[in-house]
Chains A and B, each alone.
Chain A
Amino acid sequence: MTSPIAAYDLGRIAYREALGFQHRAVSARAAGAGEDAIYFAEHEPVLTVGRGGTPESLRASDAMLKARGVEVVPVERGGDITYHGPGQIVAYPIVALSALPSGRDMHRYLRDLEEVLIRALGTYGLSAGRRPPYTGVWVGERKVAAIGVAVRRWITFHGFALNVDPDLTHFDWIHPCGIRDLGVTSMRSLLGSAPPRAEALERLCSSFAEIWERPVTKLSRLPDSSSTPSSETLHA
């Protein structure tokens, strides 16, 4: 498998916009028109609730969220409630499973995503790892990256959110969801300073290439945000 995977940086983009973008990209890829690609993004503060989430997972009051303009968006990925905000690198791999080493082994796909993050964090001297049975990537007892994935027509979407330098107090908005859940952390807290975003993206890309055994193209911005892969929509 040597056809390259494209890498794009969508930059700072509203969550709902990115979600619509993902849906279009998945449809295009399923129709054979699109390419395998990883889209990186950064969002304004938003809470997304996966299919494993329940209303009790949300701790912040509606009034508080409203005052701050924080939306709660139900999404089709697996997992519970998650926070996204500035200072995170969010990655959306939109890739045909058949063209990955994992094939349709979904757990392998998850473990591979974790491995991408673990290796990239390793280049910063961080010893990150897994904490079975939880999904995600951890340094010590704290989670540094969250993962939640969806698959439509055997094309992946959603992905991971790596805490580079987010406001960690925002994580208090969501329920710790257990008797002694493990906390969250960021690269900034761990390293003392946050690495430049461009550099971190580059290291993630080489890590993707290594794990998926396919070249990843040099990161570029989408030529024009309106020229998304296709306007064909499945879920209009």
Chain B
Amino acid sequence: MPVTIVVPQLGESVVEGTVGKWLKKEGDAIAKDEPIVEIITDKINIELPAPSAGTLGKITIPEGTVAQVGQQLGVILAPGESMPAGAAPGAGAGASAGAAAAPPAAPQRVPTPDAGAPQRGAGAPTGTALEEPQSADGRVSPAVRKLLKEHNLDLSGIRGSGAGGRVTREDVLTHVEAGRVAASAGGKPPAAPAPGAPGRAAVPAPAAAQAPLKPIPGPSMVAPGSREEEVQPLSNVRKKIAENMVRSRHTAAHCATWDEVDMTALVNLRGRLKEKIKATYGVGLTYMPFIMKAVVRGLREFPVLNASITETEAHYKKYYNIGVAVHRDSGLIVPVVHDADRKTLLQLAQEIEDLGGRARADKLTLNDIQGGTFTITNAGMFGATASTPIINYPEVGVLGVHLIQERPVVRDHRIVIRQMMTLVLSFDHRLVDGTPAVQFLHRVKELLEDPESWLLDSI
């Protein structure tokens, strides 16, 4: 009798593990208790011992896939045994030794993390149809057989929507109902529904008696009912991002306020300076150093936003380490410009450029991403005109900067075209009241709208 290898109970709080390495290949001889496969959970790697001696008949769950406790990982065959015809023994949760010999409950193509649950997508007529005989072979459940008998029907003409095109109870009821509707309209029971709408009753139009209607063609590119999905394990970076995002959302009392900023003066100023600065210092002058300067000034006036909060304490930071969110293909990261208040605009420009480059090349050091006191995120780089960022916990504020674009605005009772940008401040309402948040944002707006008023003392 083939013996299934299942994920054992590994602790009260353990419900799943990732299949690490298969230490044996299909066809390898196995001694009882010999380690055959690694299950990785948290920081533990458990080598599962073989439940019996024999050969590894089949690997059900490949490396890198998450498996639930109780789920079948593979099958061990006793000497002389071969895999049962039709392969894949039932792969349900709780499958225990011996269960492999039972007929499969449903075909299972791709093991998924929730393989213990019935697969929804597998019910589509495509794909599985090849592996499972059509309903024509009469394989229906006893309940369906009973229902067919009650209505004096046979399977012909009933379109199956179940696994492998099997006829389900609903299909029979739909068929009967459709027949009734058609009959009351004076027509014959309809044939199988139009392709592209499997299992759904084609309800005839009231005037169906006359010319036959053309079925509505479906898109030709896509197989009808395709439910293709790609399952990828999360990278460590992605897991960490997910953790941080959820922790912030669950802990901070997020609140957002926004304002429109007239960036025309700054756009002109930067336009005048950038070529020269690039030629002289080799540094690209973006808006970010100006925004960072304005933010630091704002934070000085509203220190509650340059802080962090615990359950019992507020920590007001007397230094200004400003994080700048950077997009990487592997996932978001927030390098920090340390002591931004003590650096000139050009130094900031250079440092932001350097941090961004190193972030994308994955060359940041621990120090580069630690110690932030406030964060700026630029969704405008990719064209967003507004967004509400998630606070970089345990900080209490994050400023979202956006696309600068010409918009009509009213000045002195006239509509004029100005370079406008939406600024959004997300703040932790546990520590930051609405008034200082709005005042801080307004202050940043004022500074950005009139850069000459303050640039002289920061260069």
Residues of A within 8 A of B (CB): 50-52, 54, 56-57, 59, 76-80, 104-110, 133, 135, 147-154, 171-172, 175-181, 183-184, 234
Contact = CB atoms under 8 A, between A and B. Distances in A.
Given A177-B240, A180-B392, A110 B45 contact: no
Interface string B129-154: 00000000000000000000000000
Nearest to B35: A152
Contact of A151 (B45, B235, B243, B364): B45
A76 B38 contact: yes
A50 to B, nearest CB: 7
A153 B51 CA distance: 11
Contacts of A50: 43, 45
A76 B235 contact: no
B200 to A, nearest CB: 44
A106 B372 contact: no
Nearest to B41: A106
Interface string B44-82: 111101000000000000000000000000000000000
A171 B366 contact: yes
B369 A181 contact: yes
Contacts of B366: 171-172, 176, 181, 183-184
A52 B10 contact: no
A180 B369 contact: yes
Given A77-B44, A104-B10, A179-B244, 9 more contacts: A104-B8, A106-B14, A106-B44, A106-B46, A109-B44, A153-B35, A172-B367, A177-B237, A184-B366
B334 A179 contact: yes
B interface, how many residues as a size bin? Answer: 35 or more
Contacts of A54: 235-236
Contacts of A57: 236
A179 B46 CA distance: 29
A183 B45 contact: no
Nearest to A102: B11
A179 B369 contact: yes
B42 A110 contact: yes
Among B237, B333, B334, max chain A CB count under 10 A is at: B237
Contact of B46 (A79, A150, A180, A184): A150
A178 B42 contact: no
A107 B9 CA distance: 11
Contacts of B14: 105-107
B47 A179 contact: no
Nearest to B241: A179
Nearest to B364: A176
Among B44, B244, B330, B392, max chain A CB count under 10 A is at: B44
Contacts of A56: 237, 330, 362
Among A151, A179, A181, max chain B CB count under 10 A is at: A179
B33 interface: yes
Nearest to A107: B11
A79 B46 CA distance: 12
Given A181-B240, A181-B366, A148 B330 contact: no
B38 A51 contact: yes
A76 B47 contact: yes
B33 A151 contact: no
Contacts of B369: 176, 179-181
A176 B34 CA distance: 36
A59 B362 CA distance: 8
Interface string B1-45: 000000011111110000011000000000001110010111111
B238 to A, nearest CB: 10
Contacts of A79: 43
B40 A183 contact: no
Contact of B43 (A108, A148, A183): A148
B236 A77 contact: no
A62 to B, nearest CB: 14
Contacts of A51: 20-21, 38, 40, 45
A150 B38 CA distance: 9
28 contacts: A51-B20, A56-B237, A59-B365, A76-B45, A77-B43, A77-B44, A77-B45, A78-B40, A105-B14, A106-B14, A107-B11, A107-B12, A109-B44, A110-B43, A148-B43, A149-B44, A153-B35, A172-B366, A175-B362, A176-B366, A176-B369, A177-B240, A178-B240, A178-B243, A179-B240, A180-B334, A181-B369, A234-B35
Contacts of A59: 362-363, 365
Contacts of B365: 59, 172, 176
B75 to A, nearest CB: 21
Contacts of A184: 366
A178 B237 contact: yes
Contact of A179 (B12, B43, B332): B332
- Nearest first, the 3 closest Cβ-Cβ pairs linking A and B are A178-B240, A105-B11, A135-B43
Given A172-B366, A183-B366, A177 B236 contact: yes
Nearest to B372: A180
Contacts of B33: 153
B41 A78 contact: yes
Given A59-B363, A177-B237, A110 B44 contact: yes
A51 B12 CA distance: 23
Contacts of B237: 56, 177-179
Among A51, A110, A177, max chain B CB count under 10 A is at: A51
A163 to B, nearest CB: 14
Contacts of B42: 78, 106-107, 110, 135
Contacts of A78: 40-45
B451 to A, nearest CB: 31
B46 to A, nearest CB: 4
B250 to A, nearest CB: 13
Contact of B236 (A80, A105, A152): A80
B226 interface: no
B24 to A, nearest CB: 12
